[in-house]
Amino acid sequence: MKLVSKKIQIIVLALIMLGTVAACDWGKSTTIVNKTDNFSQRIKYSGKIVFNEKEDGIEHISNGGYLEFEQNDKGFKARENFHKEIEYEFNGDSKVTDLSDEQKQFVARAVKSIIKERAKLRSPKD
């Protein structure tokens, strides 16, 4: 009887672990690409990205999440560091948390573009 009980415990534990792993969405990301003759844009993100109220900056990125934005060969990667600050890497340069005015303007344009593109994904198709 103890052997059957032990097997049931192992099966239940395995099912719980499988359910936990299935609920995690590991590796799930969204990529949006727009290209014309003189314009290219790539947006890739994973996790929950929260923009600020003014919609010109990033307020929060969930643990393990990231945002990548590239437009006409200029771009950045953003993630939240261990201090809960948004950390940016522009065009492969070193990581920064304090942005220059030019970087702030680029991020603001990117955020507005990302919001617009995400809205297109969510809108019902005709």
Query: Is pTM beyond 0.85 here?
Result: no
For the chain, the average pLDDT equals 84
Structure tokens at 36: 């014309």
Answer whether residue 56 shows pLDDT above 50. Answer: yes
Chain position carrying tokens 């995400």: 118
Tell me the DSSP string of 67-93: EEEEETTEEEEEEE-TTS-EEEEETT-
The tens digit of pLDDT for each residue in 6-18 reads 666 666 555 454 4
Name the residue ranges covered by the structural domains of the chain: 30-122
Contact 84, 92 (CB under 8 A): no
The tens digit of pLDDT for each residue in 58-74 reads 999 999 999 999 999 99
Structure tokens at 66: 């990231």
DSSP letter for 100, please.
P
Chain position carrying tokens 């929060």: 60
Q: How far is CA 6 from the centre of its chain?
A: 42
